[in-house]
Amino acid sequence: MSHMKHWQDPANGVLGAWLILSPWLLGLQADRVVTINFVVVGLLLAATALGAILLPRAWEEWTGAALGAWLMASPWILGFAGNALAVQVAIFTGLAAVVLTLWVLATDKEYGDWWHRMVG
């Protein structure tokens, strides 16, 4: 049996699950835009994390980073910036996803070669 390559991948899976459940856990489900955004991004983040656990590839990490970046920008793009709690969830969850995925890309020599060439 093989071992998991990066601990950050299941952490991103947990972030995805959190996003899926957060509209109901935090009482945000009345805002359809917030709910749809969080559920869709949560499903994509969880699926990307599962893929990264089962068959690790750099593109999965880049996808996780892009999803996190979208999540951080989405309150202003989708127009729910007036909902402080939804903005906090989007910013902090998105930032965590970006940090975790960039951490993998920066530390995994197999797909972080671009980073090592850039700074080294």
Contact between 94 and 70 under an 8 Å Cβ cutoff? The reply is yes
At 31-81, the pLDDT tens digits run: 999 999 999 999 999 999 998 888 878 888 899 999 999 999 999 999 999
114 class by beta-carbon count within 10 Å (0-12 exposed, 13-18 middle, 19+ buried): exposed
Give the list of residues 6+ apart from residue 64 with CB closer than 8 angstroms, or none: 12, 45, 48, 49, 52, 97, 98, 100, 101
In a domain, 3, yes or no: no
In a domain, 74, yes or no: yes
Residue owning tokens 């999540």: 71
pLDDT exceeds 60 at position 28: yes
Q: Is the pTM of this model over 0.75?
A: yes
In a domain, 64, yes or no: yes
pLDDT exceeds 90 at position 109: no
What domain count does the chain have? Answer: 1
Looking at the chain, the whole-number percentage of residues with pLDDT higher than 90 is 68
In a domain, 65, yes or no: yes
In a domain, 2, yes or no: no
Domain extent at residue 52: 8-119
pLDDT given at position 114: 54
